[in-house]
Amino acid sequence: MGDIPPCATIYVNNLNEKIKKDELRKSLSAAFAQFGKVIDINCAKTYKLRGQAWVVFDTVTAATNAVKRMNDFPFYDKPMRVAYARTKSDATAKAEGTFDPNARDPLVRQKRKAESQAAEKQSQGASKRANGDRKEGAGGLAEGAVGEATTPPNAILFVQGLPEATTASMLSMLFQQFPGFVEVRMVEAKPGIAFVEFDSETRSAVALSGLQGFKINPTHSMTLSYAKK
């Protein structure tokens, strides 16, 4: 365990890389449920990170018992390595699918700043267009179609109207039902908006049509448009 402080999330590696993600999640849940309530299990998606997972418990005590008793436990013919997650912030980000090991890179920070500024401009522009549409009445654009007529179709969707508590994991659950889903990128500096990327503009169009106006909760409906490039 080293000098890593105890936390409610454990890091598991040396897992059998041939096991499919869904099966791995179910098996890990069954193996660790004996120690306490398992809130989430995040298995690495990329090939480079396969064989790793993060298991989130509701208490530090449950995580501690799991670390003590499950390290070197034979799991799919391999002894799994179990330890506390390196930091709480990393563990949370990994569980939400937002972890970025290059986050401290100045080039990455610059890119994120530019993306945040672009998102804010697009959000302001959409609000102005929406106000103009309401004044025009029936002759204007439908409010739910903000941005669709002015921004050319592309593979990235711009999502607005989200509750501030929305996470990348929550949005991924919604959008991954559509073929071609790649990733969700939250804009940390501006809660309530996000970018969702697909592998083609054709597939992003299907998702836009399918989730336009979707109610996240009784007071928040998503507004989707194509992201400006």
Q: CA nearest 175: which of 139, 211, 150?
A: 211
Lay out the sheet containing 9-13: strands in order across: 38-43, 53-57, 9-13, 81-84
Q: Which residues contact 228 (CB under 8 A, 6 or more apart)?
A: 118, 121, 122, 151, 158
Domains in the chain (CATH in brackets) are 9-96 (3.30.70.330), 106-226 (3.30.70.330)
For residue 117, the model assigns a pLDDT of 64
Is the Cβ–Cβ distance between 210 and 178 less than 8 Å? yes
Percentage above 70 pLDDT, the chain: 69
**Contact present, 85 and 9 (Cβ < 8 Å):** yes
> How distant, in Å, are the alpha carbons of 78, 118, 127 from that of 112?
39, 10, 22
How many angstroms separate the CA atoms of 162 and 210, rounded?
Answer: 16
Per the structure block, which two tokens stand in for 4? 């890593």
Confidence of residue 86 (pLDDT cuts 50, 70, 90): confident
Q: What is the pLDDT of residue 89?
A: 41
Q: Is 77 left (phi over 0), alpha (psi -120 to 50) or beta?
A: left
Considering the chain, what is the average pLDDT of its residues? 78
113/224: higher pLDDT: 224
Q: What is the pLDDT of residues 36-70, one digit of tens each?
A: 988 888 887 666 678 898 898 888 999 999 999 99
Q: What is the mean pLDDT of residues 160-164?
A: 89
Could you tell me the pLDDT band of residue 187, with boundaries at 50, 70 and 90?
confident
Question: What mean pLDDT is predicted for residues 142-167?
Answer: 74
> What is this structure's pTM?
0.41
Which pLDDT band holds residue 116 (cuts at 50, 70, 90)? low
